[in-house]
C-alpha cells in the first residue's frame, strides 16, 4: 500500500502529529467513503510539502527527506514546451530571462513558481504582446508576483514599468 499526502504543510497544524498515531496503528479513516482501511503491511507514505509552515520536530524525525531543486532554465524550457508546444523560441527565451531575473531577487516573500510562469506565458500569448514589449518591460507582472510588497520590490529592482 502506498499513501500519498500532498502538501502536508497546508493541513491543519495538528495533522502531522495525528498522522503519527494513524501510522502507528496502521488504520486510516476515509471520510469520503465512510470506511476504515486497515493495512496488512506498513504502508509506504509519500508526503509533499512546499515549506509554507514548519512541521513538528517529532514528525520530522520520522521522515526521510528528498529535496527537489527548482528547475534550471533548460529544464524549465522543456516544461514550458510541453504546455505550449507551438511557443516560439525567441518568446520562450525572453520569458525565461525575465522569470529568472525575478527569481534572482532574494527579498521576495513568495518567489514566482513554475505555475505562475506557465500562467504568465498563457496571458502573454492571449494578449498578443510583442517580443519587443517583453524586452523592454514586464507586462502582466501581477500574474508572476502575488504579494503587494514583492511587486514593489520587483519594480524597484528591475526598473520596469507595469
Are residues 13 and 87 located together in one domain of the fold? no
Are residues 32 and 98 located together in one domain of the fold? no
The whole domain housing 135 covers 73-158
- Does the pTM surpass 0.85? The reply is no
Using a pLDDT cut of 90, give the percent of the chain over it. 52
19 contacts: CB under 8 Å, gap ≥ 6:
5, 8, 59
Asked if residue 8 is part of any domain, the answer here is yes
β-pairing verdict for 27-30 and 35-38: antiparallel
Asked if residue 98 is part of any domain, the answer here is yes
Longest dimension (CA), the chain: 62
Tally of domains in the chain:
2
Are residues 83 and 153 located together in one domain of the fold? yes
pLDDT tens readout for residues 60-90 = 888 898 988 999 999 999 999 999 999 999 9
| CA-based nearest residue to 77, from 102, 114, 109, 103 | 114
Are residues 78 and 137 located together in one domain of the fold? yes
Amino acid at each position: 500500500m502506498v499513501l500519498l499526502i500532498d502538501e502536508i504543510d497546508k493541513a491543519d497544524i495538528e495533522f502531522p502529529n495525528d498522522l503519527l498515531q494513524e501510522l502507528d496503528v496502521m488504520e486510516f479513516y476515509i471520510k469520503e467513503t465512510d470506511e476504515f482501511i486497515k493495512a496488512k503491511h506498513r504502508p509506504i507514505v509519500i508526503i509533499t510539502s512546499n515549506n509554507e509552515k514548519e512541521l513538528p520536530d517529532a514528525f520530522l524525525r520520522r521522515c526521510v527527506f528528498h529535496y527537489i531543486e527548482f528547475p534550471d532554465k533548460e529544464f524549465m524550457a522543456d516544461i514550458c514546451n510541453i504546455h505550449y508546444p507551438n511557443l516560439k523560441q525567441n518568446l520562450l527565451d525572453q520569458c525565461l530571462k525575465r522569470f529568472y531575473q525575478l527569481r534572482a531577487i532574494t527579498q521576495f516573500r513568495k518567489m514566482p513558481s513554475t505555475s505562475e510562469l506557465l500562467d504568465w506565458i498563457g496571458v502573454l500569448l492571449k494578449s498578443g504582446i510583442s517580443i519587443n514589449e517583453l524586452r523592454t518591460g514586464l507586462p502582466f507582472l501581477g500574474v508572476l508576483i502575488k504579494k503587494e510588497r514583492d511587486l514593489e520590490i520587483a519594480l524597484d529592482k528591475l526598473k520596469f514599468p507595469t
